[in-house]
Amino acid sequence: MADYYETLGVERTATEEEIKRAYRRMSRKYHPDIAGPEYEDKFKEVNSAYEVLSDPDKRRMYDAGVDPNDPGSGAYGASGPFDMGDIFSQFFTGAFGGGGEGPIPRTQPGRNTIESMVITLKTAVFGGTQKLEYHTMGVCEHCEGTGSEDRKPPVTCPQCHGTGHVQKVVRTLLGQMMTSAPCDRCEGHGTIIEHPCTVCHGHGRVPTRRTLDVPVPAGVADGTRVRMDGQGEVGECGGPAGDLYIDFRVRRDRQYTRDGDDLHCWISVPMTWAVLGHETTLETFDGERSLEIPAGCQPDQQIELKGLGVTHLGGDGERGDLIAHIEVQIPTKLNDRERKLIDEFGQLRKDGDRSIDAQGSKPVAAQKKGFFSKIKDAFS
């Protein structure tokens, strides 16, 4: 019996989420479109393993020694651990007529899918539409999802007569017992497809790579998850599709940093602009905007541009602000004329006559750190 846990690279105690993550990793690794056609058999093994381990009932059977994918295995073997609860349950079910749960429907709902999408900060500000490529289970086009090569409906199983269960003798710790087990001819469905599809092998679905236009909500933040109904895995034999969950990741922007719904940037201006004031332009996500540097501008001074920040998520279209942090360039190399002019300026201001007022601690206003200082401390 194939070791499905080893195929997916997980422990026997793996959770449902761990199995799903392992399947996504292995299916991408061995998908023929990515790894090459020589890995098609390995890809099928991965899908077979996931089909069993992702289904609680099939996994329970597999752990007890029965491979649901093997039509020839009808009883529990010695390789798997015995579950006494299952043994007694099946014994008493079989003793009172068998097949208590009835046949397993062929039409099964599809599972949900989780994908990640990387977007730019500008897309997060305004929203938009972005294409997503992902692997999932799609309808088999060869049989149109019926699972049948000739598209004929299934017929009643001649072995279990539609019950999906048969009486079997199993060896247990208490000796031989008569119990009811899933029919190995129809795999518990009660019906059989006389001519299974040669592409999907009777499941009505195949691994598929899809491309989807995803609407990105304006104001979405890093880590936000949205749901798209019916865009997950297609169910078996025409079953309804699961949902697609998308986790957004916002790519770091070279110019702007986001803080809530506000955008922050740092601009370096000449000392003369800070002293005399100056009107310049700033490239924003809304295009060029005028930026007024006030006369006497101080280092780390903030200039706000209202309404040029991030759109409020799920709001009425209002936006945060764009905040420009001013860094003043102090010249480090002066020629003789520049030095003379600066010296004359200092004499006019009588800077040389001023005394230094030393203090034992910083004023409260100076101790308060701005947004930029906090970022520098975080990087330190």
Alpha helices (H) in the chain, listed in sequence order: 4-8, 16-30, 32-35, 40-53, 56-63, 84-95, 121-126, 271-276, 336-349, 364-367, 371-379
Nearest CA to 134 out of 234, 23, 24, 20 is that of: 24
Q: Is 160 annotated as a binding residue?
A: yes
State how far the Cα of 216 lies from the Cα of 24, in Å rounded to an integer. Answer: 24
Distance linking the first and last C-alpha atoms of the chain = 56
Q: Is 237 annotated as a binding residue?
A: no
Nearest CA to 94 out of 81, 107, 77, 75 is that of: 75
Distances (CA, A) of 272 to 13, 293, 300, 323: 69, 11, 16, 22
Q: Do 146 and 204 contact (CB within 8 A), yes or no?
A: yes
Q: Is 197 annotated as a binding residue?
A: yes
Q: Where are the beta strands (DSSP E) in the chain?
A: 113-119, 128-139, 155-156, 165-172, 175-182, 191-192, 205-216, 225-228, 244-250, 257-259, 262-270, 278-284, 287-293, 302-305, 322-329
Q: Is 186 annotated as a binding residue?
A: yes
Q: Is 297 annotated as a binding residue?
A: no
Cβ-proximal residues to 111 (8 Å cutoff; 6+ apart), any chain:
20, 54, 232, 233, 242
Q: How many CB atoms lie within 10 A of CB 126?
A: 14
Binding site members for Zn(2+): 140, 143, 157, 160, 183, 186, 197, 200
Binding site members: 140, 143, 157, 160, 183, 186, 197, 200
